[in-house]
């Protein structure tokens, strides 16, 4: 896991970061604005800055729009760009500020004097080396790189079966819940050669990469950067029959680069913030990040344990905001246990996200998996997944094991996507709370494995895997479907015919395809259907009424 660090947001509201480029010092300055006064955007017209999917997420879960949703005042950005030698990198609406770059350190005074910039006590430049060697903390098992295994289930998981089975995920996959309709955003250091890796052939063929963006250098080409993100993606979306099956192989994905592996600077936290804002704006349901920050190349920016309260680091503040926008946020705990910094990093300290630790095949905590608690006493990590010899793709039709919370995190995030797909009416916070309630260590959560390994197939799914639209679920006491399971004949009794006066009945298989049993009897409040010509399996009965939709899972034996 590419571990970095954080900056405390002190009283000063301008933060200057410097990279050494071609013997010049490039100043990256965080500029915090006083307000969003005068912005042409309004809460009454969110379509100007959010996609329909993002707006729908807020509507589905009763999330109120607020000032953090509004883009920063574009006039402020124009004025910043008008300052000589200044280049605007990007703006953050959640933190209400912008990152600029300049080679002229004296420009700081000009920026600080602008009327819309918050007052500050000064700007502290931090000089770092651009030639830092990068060594991933994940350890890839060379002995397993060329190992090919035979399919051991109908979905040909190969060696990835065990990391999925630990969460009881094949049970959901076998019912048709494989991430369809869910959108996952991955923030990482790069996705080298993912575009030519055969493990992702089906991913690209079905157009499931919805978009990419590099928040470090700009542009959309992530295929010639670091390979860490490609490993992560294979845990989620890789499909190689008999070799590998990701935990959410049918989900859609946005890929973002926020981490610069050549250096460790505070700007990487702001890169992540911008990526999270963008993910929100395009309607991502889940984000997964296998990055964390504790120390930087310049020690003046290092985090301390006292900062692990979820309210200090910019990235932690943003992670909580993402969760409050309805996104289910996953972040790796870190691989520092056994070192001088055994604790989690940021944003793993955020209170509304799922921090993920690592266990081995027997469910024992990995020796490297970072621990809690947070400074304010909260249990971390929240949940765990397989992070020892996790099966992933190396490209060139080669699979093997890798160690790190970096890999446990996407395995769990994909499983959660399938679980949320099966329980789509629940919001992100309820999904996380539910996963904790059905996890192996729920009786006595601790700061090594949190609530433990969740059993994602513990509960009966509440909606079909294709996400057939549901407006509201009506009172089940007024509808009885019997017997269930059934052999051939299914009976539906509507006890309140006045309430259900304009109903239509339809049935769907696990793929969301309509099926047509024979209608045997149909009165105002009693319906009988003959399924003798329909094969055994799991189906859904959907009753549309003037008051909403009633949906019920049915099983033909």
State the pLDDT at residue 13: 36
State whether residue 52 is helix, strand or coil: helix
User: Does the residue 147 lie in any domain?
Assistant: no
Q: Answer for the pair 315, 361: CB distance below 8 angstroms, yes or no.
A: no
State the pLDDT at residue 523: 57
Q: How many domains does the chain have?
A: 3
Residues 272 and 371 in one domain: yes
DSSP label of 535: P
Residues 414 and 328 in one domain: yes
What 3 state SS string does 395-464 have? ECCEEEEEECHHHHHHHHHHHHHHHHHHCCCCCHHHHHHHHHHCECCCCCCECCCECCCECCCCCCCCCC
Residue 226: is it exposed, middle or buried by C-beta count within 10 angstroms (0-12/13-18/19+)? buried
Residues 118 and 163 in one domain: no
Q: What is the CA 51 to chain-centroid distance, rounded?
A: 18
Q: Count CA atoms within 13 Å of residue 109 on its CB side.
A: 1
User: Does the residue 381 lie in any domain?
Assistant: yes
CATH number of the CATH domain containing 504: 2.60.40.10
Domain finish residue from 379, 412, 437: 437
Distance CA 537, CA 533 (A): 12
- 135: Cβ contacts below 8 Å, ≥ 6 apart: none
Q: Put the strands of the sheet holding 537-545 in their side by side order.
A: 514-515, 504-508, 537-545, 548-556
DSSP label of 176: T
State the pLDDT at residue 495: 56
CATH number of the CATH domain containing 76: 3.30.780
Instruction: End-to-end CA distance of the chain: give it in Å, rounded.
Output: 47
Residues 269 and 365 in one domain: yes
User: Does the residue 446 lie in any domain?
Assistant: no
Distance CA 180, CA 202 (A): 14
Residues 355 and 313 in one domain: yes
Residue with tokens 């883009």: 71
Q: Which two tokens stand for residue 540?
A: 């859904």
Residues 195 and 308 in one domain: yes
User: Does the residue 466 lie in any domain?
Assistant: no
Give, for all 557 residues of the chain, the pLDDT tens digit: 444 433 322 223 344 343 333 446 777 888 999 999 999 999 999 999 999 999 999 988 899 999 999 999 999 999 999 999 999 988 999 999 998 888 887 888 889 899 999 844 333 333 222 222 222 334 343 333 333 333 333 468 999 999 999 999 999 998 889 999 999 999 999 999 999 999 999 999 999 999 999 999 889 999 999 999 999 999 999 999 889 999 999 999 999 999 998 888 888 999 999 999 999 999 999 999 999 999 888 787 788 999 999 999 999 999 999 999 999 999 999 999 999 999 999 999 999 999 999 999 999 999 999 999 999 999 999 999 999 999 999 998 899 999 999 999 999 999 999 999 999 889 999 999 999 999 999 999 999 999 999 999 998 887 766 544 443 334 455 577 888 888 888 888 765 544 444 567 888 887 677 888 877 766 556 778 899 899 888 888 887 765 556 777 888 88
User: Does the residue 53 lie in any domain?
Assistant: no
Residues 389 and 500 in one domain: no
Domain extent at residue 551: 476-556
Q: Which two tokens stand for residue 110?
A: 């000009």
User: Measured on CA atoms in the order 152, 154, 159, 162, is the torsion positive or negative?
Assistant: negative
Residues 251 and 116 in one domain: no
Residue 12 has φ and ψ, to the nearest 5°, of -75, 145
Which stretch of DSSP H or E encloses residue 253? strand 252-257
State the pLDDT at residue 26: 77
Residues 227 and 344 in one domain: yes
Distance CA 157, CA 365 (A): 24
Domain finish residue from 382, 417, 437: 437
DSSP label of 22: T
User: Does the residue 46 lie in any domain?
Assistant: no
Residues 334 and 242 in one domain: yes
Q: Answer for the pair 46, 69: CB distance below 8 angstroms, yes or no.
A: yes
pTM of the prediction? 0.78
Residues 165 and 274 in one domain: yes
CA distances from 293 to 265, 267, 336, 344, 472 (A): 9, 11, 11, 9, 42
User: Does the residue 468 lie in any domain?
Assistant: no
Report long-range pairs for 494-503 (Cβ below 8 Å, ≥24 apart): 494/524, 494/525, 494/526, 494/527, 494/543, 495/525, 497/524, 497/525, 499/474, 499/545, 499/547, 500/474, 500/543, 500/545, 500/547, 501/545, 501/546, 502/545, 502/546, 503/543, 503/544, 503/545
Residues 112 and 173 in one domain: no
Q: Count CA atoms within 13 Å of residue 272 on its CB side.
A: 34
DSSP per-residue letters across 60-129:
HTTPPP-GGGSPPPHHHHHHHHTSTT-EEEEEETTTTEEEEEES-TTHHHHHHHSTTBPP-S-----EE-
Domain finish residue from 414, 437, 460: 437
User: Does the residue 460 lie in any domain?
Assistant: no
Stated length of the chain: 557
- 315: Cβ contacts below 8 Å, ≥ 6 apart: 6, 269, 272, 273, 293, 346, 347
Distance CA 524, CA 496 (A): 10
CATH number of the CATH domain containing 316: 3.40.50.200
Q: Answer for the pair 35, 108: CB distance below 8 angstroms, yes or no.
A: no
């Amino acid at each position: 896991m590419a571990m970095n660090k954080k900056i405390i947001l002190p009283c000063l509201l301008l933060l200057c970061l410097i990279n050494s480029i071609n013997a010049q010092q490039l100043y990256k300055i965080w500029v915090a604005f006083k307000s969003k006064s005068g912005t042409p955007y309004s809460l009454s017209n969110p379509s100007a800055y959010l996609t329909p999917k993002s707006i729908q997420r807020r509507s589905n879960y009763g999330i109120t729009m607020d000032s953090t949703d509004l883009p920063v005042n574009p006039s402020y950005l124009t004025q910043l760009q008008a300052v000589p030698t200044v280049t605007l990198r990007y703006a953050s609406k959640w933190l209400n500020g912008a990152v600029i770059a300049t080679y002229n350190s004296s420009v700081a005074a000009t920026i600080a004097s602008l009327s819309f910039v918050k007052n500050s006590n000064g700007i502290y430049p931090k000089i770092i080396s651009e030639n830092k060697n990068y060594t991933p903390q994940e350890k890839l098992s060379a002995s397993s790189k060329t190992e090919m295994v035979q399919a051991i289930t109908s979905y040909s998981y190969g060696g990835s079966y065990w990391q999925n089975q630990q969460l009881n995920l094949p049970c959901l996959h076998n019912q048709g819940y494989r991430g369809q309709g869910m959108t996952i955003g991955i923030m990482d250091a790069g996705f080298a050669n993912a575009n030519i890796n055969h493990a992702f052939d089906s991913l690209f063929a079905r157009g499931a990469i919805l978009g990419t963006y590099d928040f470090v250098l700009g542009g959309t080409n992530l295929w010639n950067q670091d390979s860490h993100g490609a490993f992560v993606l294979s845990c989620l979306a890789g499909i190689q029959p008999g070799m590998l099956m990701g935990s959410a192989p049918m989900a859609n994905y946005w890929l973002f680069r926020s981490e610069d592996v050549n250096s460790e600077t505070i700007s990487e936290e702001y890169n992540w913030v911008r990526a999270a804002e963008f993910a929100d704006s395009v309607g991502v349901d889940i984000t997964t990040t296998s990055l964390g920050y504790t120390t930087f190349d310049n020690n003046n920016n290092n985090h301390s344990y006292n900062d692990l309260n979820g309210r200090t680091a910019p990235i932690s503040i943003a992670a909580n905001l993402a969760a409050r926008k309805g996104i289910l946020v996953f972040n790796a705990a870190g691989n520092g246990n056994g070192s001088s910094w055994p604790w989690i990093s940021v944003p793993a300290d955020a209170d509304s996200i799922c921090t993920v630790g690592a266990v081995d095949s027997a469910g024992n905590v990995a020796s490297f998996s970072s621990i809690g608690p947070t400074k304010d006493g909260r249990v971390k990590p929240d949940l765990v997944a397989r992070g020892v010899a996790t099966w992933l793709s190396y490209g060139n039709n080669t699979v093997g094991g890798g160690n790190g919370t970096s890999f446990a995190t996407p395995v769990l995030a994909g499983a959660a996507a399938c679980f949320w797909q099966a329980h789509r009416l629940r919001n992100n916070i309820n999904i996380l709370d539910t996963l904790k309630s059905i996890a192996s260590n729920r009786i006595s959560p601790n700061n090594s494995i949190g609530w433990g390994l969740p059993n994602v197939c513990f509960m009966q799914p509440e909606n079909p895997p294709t996400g057939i639209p549901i407006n509201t679920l009506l009172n089940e006491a007024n509808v009885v479907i019997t017997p269930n399971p059934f052999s051939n004949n299914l009976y539906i009794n509507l006890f309140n015919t006045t309430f259900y006066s304009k109903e239509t009945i339809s049935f769907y298989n696990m793929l969301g395809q309509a099926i047509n049993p024979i209608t045997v009897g149909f009165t105002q409040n009693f319906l009988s259907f003959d399924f003798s010509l329909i094969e055994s399996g799991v189906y859904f009965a959907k009753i549309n009424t003037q008051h909403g939709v009633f949906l019920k899972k049915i099983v033909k034996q």
